């Protein structure tokens, strides 16, 4: 795996694909700079070695050129995070971009305009990729969040840097963390999969059954499994057309000696709202008119035992509707169990939009071994897919 340490950046221009697709408020101010901060170690290393940096990213889903999606809005925040005055050019290819790049001196940073102002970016157009490649001497991919897309700036551009293409610090860390779970894990290995739908996690479950000892299933997925086994789930969410699949997953797990842990009790509510009436009920006996919205106390005790005995833990998806305070307790408790196991030496990897949002919201981020920055990309790696953005750097 070629990383930053394989190249001497002195007097070199590094064109870096970053993921600066950050949220902006109505005044175009950045409301969460995490993605910018995540790219800082890569940028710092190149600048410290006497190189210069050309940053390219997308923002939002513009239809052609749209002022509200211009990366000029984030220049001040990027400058603040990097501690360097960032230059900006209002195009990403062509004469203007080439001139701005040519003028760049060692230690300087240039931010290009939104790549997606050109439809060629998402189309993976070779001519567009070649124009981007003209801007630098070395290509660095540090955008895990888009590594599963074969776009011009994430994959195709690498063809124009046969020797000089490397992974940035962030992307290298993502790959190493996933490898730690999927290939080099210390046993026992536990995967916690939550969220509302079995359908979105089927391929993940199928791919990781060979690699885990325990599989904890939580969230809305629970009820498809319970109903498939003949339980009464009241008005709980359920994918009726996936019941057979749920039974197949349980049979496969048994065959592979994977212990599956499903909630035994739930916090049931008489409506999908924070102030609904609640009761703790057996997961197989949820009354009509009631729905399970969080894991119950007995379930959490069972999960705690499994987690604290684990050496490697993957967490993808919440245990309940954590956005509502009254149904967040299960997810918070799970986060605390994983934090405790991590403190005792377990390796914990958290990924997927909702789980990442939960650990951040409840102040658990620093207590996990690694929190992934890419939802869709991480899921695809867990499914066993080779991501085009990663393959492009690995190919000689």
To the query of whether residue 376 is one of the catalytic residues in this protein, the response is yes
The band of 202, judged by pLDDT with boundaries at 50, 70 and 90, is confident
Residues annotated in the binding site, as ranges?
19-21, 35, 58-61, 116, 149, 201, 292, 323, 352-355
- 13, 35, 165, 367: the catalytic one is 35
pLDDT in tens, 87-110: 999 999 999 999 999 999 999 999
Residues annotated in the binding site for (2R)-3-phosphoglycerate, as ranges?
35, 116, 149
Residues annotated in the binding site for ATP, as ranges?
201, 292, 323, 352-355
Q: What is the pLDDT of residue 396?
A: 63
Q: Are 221 and 321 in contact (CB under 8 A)?
A: no
- 72, 87, 180, 197: the catalytic one is 197
Answer whether 4-170 and 185-382 agree in fold. Answer: yes
Mean pLDDT of the chain: 95
To the query of whether residue 296 is one of the catalytic residues in this protein, the response is no
To the query of whether residue 353 is one of the catalytic residues in this protein, the response is yes
Q: Report the residue count for the chain.
A: 396
Q: How many CA atoms lie within 13 A of 239 on its CB side?
A: 20
Residue 187: pLDDT over 80: yes
User: Percentage of residues in the chain with pLDDT exceeding 70?
Assistant: 99
**Model pTM score:** 0.87
Q: What is the pLDDT of residue 150?
A: 95
Domains of the chain, residue spans:
4-170, 185-382
pLDDT in tens, 204-238: 999 999 999 999 999 999 999 999 999 999 999 99
Q: What is the CATH number of domain 185-382?
A: 3.40.50.1260
Residue 374: pLDDT over 80: no
Residues annotated in the binding site for substrate, as ranges?
19-21, 35, 58-61, 116, 149
Q: How many angstroms separate the CA atoms of 179 and 46, rounded?
A: 26
Tell me which CATH homologous superfamily contains domain 4-170: Phosphoglycerate kinase, N-terminal domain (3.40.50.1260)
- 252, 376, 384, 385: the catalytic one is 376
Residue 379: pLDDT over 90: no
Mean per-residue pLDDT, 143-163: 95
pLDDT in tens, 320-365: 999 999 999 999 999 999 999 999 999 999 987 688 889 999 999 9
To the query of whether residue 35 is one of the catalytic residues in this protein, the response is yes
Among the residue ranges 15-24, 124-133, 199-208, the one predicted with the least confidence is 199-208
Q: Which two structure tokens, joined as six digits, stand for 198?
A: 């079995």
Q: How many angstroms separate the CA atoms of 271 and 276, rounded?
A: 5
Mean per-residue pLDDT, 186-202: 92
Residue 133: pLDDT over 70: yes
- 96, 284, 311, 353: the catalytic one is 353
Nearest CA-CA partner of 293 in 315, 314, 312, 275:
275
């Amino acid at each position: 795996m070629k990383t930053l340490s394989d190249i001497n950046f002195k007097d070199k221009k590094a064109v870096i694909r970053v993921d600066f697709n950050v949220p902006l408020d109505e005044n175009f101010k950045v409301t969460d700079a995490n993605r910018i901060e995540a790219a800082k170690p890569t940028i710092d290393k190149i600048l410290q070695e006497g190189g210069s940096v050309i940053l390219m990213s997308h923002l939002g889903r513009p239809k052609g050129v749209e002022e509200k999606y211009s990366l000029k809005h984030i220049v001040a925040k990027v400058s603040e995070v990097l501690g360097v005055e960032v230059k900006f050019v209002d195009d990403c290819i062509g004469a203007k971009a080439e001139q701005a790049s040519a003028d760049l001196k060692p230690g300087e940073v240039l931010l290009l305009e939104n790549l997606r102002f050109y439809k060629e970016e998402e189309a993976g157009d070779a001519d567009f990729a070649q124009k981007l490649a003209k801007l630098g001497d070395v290509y660095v991919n540090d955008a895990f969040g888009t590594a599963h897309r074969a776009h011009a700036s994430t994959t195709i551009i690498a063809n124009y840097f046969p020797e000089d293409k490397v992974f940035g610090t962030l992307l290298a860390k993502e790959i190493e963390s996933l490898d730690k779970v999927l290939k080099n894990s210390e046993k026992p290995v536990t995967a916690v999969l939550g969220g509302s739908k079995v359908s979105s996690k089927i391929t993940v479950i199928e791919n990781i059954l060979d690699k885990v000892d325990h599989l904890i299933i939580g969230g809305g997925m629970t009820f498809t499994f319970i109903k498939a086994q003949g339980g009464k789930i009241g008005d709980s969410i359920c994918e009726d057309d996936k019941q057979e699949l749920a039974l197949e997953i349980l049979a496969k797990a048994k065959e592979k000696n994977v212990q599956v842990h499903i909630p035994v009790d739930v916090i049931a509510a008489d409506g999908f709202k924070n102030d609904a009436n609640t009761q703790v009920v057996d997961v197989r006996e949820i009354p009509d008119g009631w729905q399970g919205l969080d894991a119950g106390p007995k379930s959490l005790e069972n999960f705690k035992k499994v987690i604290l005995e684990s050496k490697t833990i993957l967490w993808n998806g919440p245990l309940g509707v954590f956005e509502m305070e009254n149904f967040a307790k299960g997810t918070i408790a799970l986060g605390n169990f994983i934090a405790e196991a991590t403190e005792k030496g377990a390796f914990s990897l958290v990924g997927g939009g909702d789980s990442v949002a939960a650990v951040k919201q409840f102040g658990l981020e620093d207590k996990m071994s690694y929190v992934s920055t890419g939802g869709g990309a991480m899921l695809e790696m867990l499914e066993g897919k080779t991501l085009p953005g990663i393959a492009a750097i690995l190919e000689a």
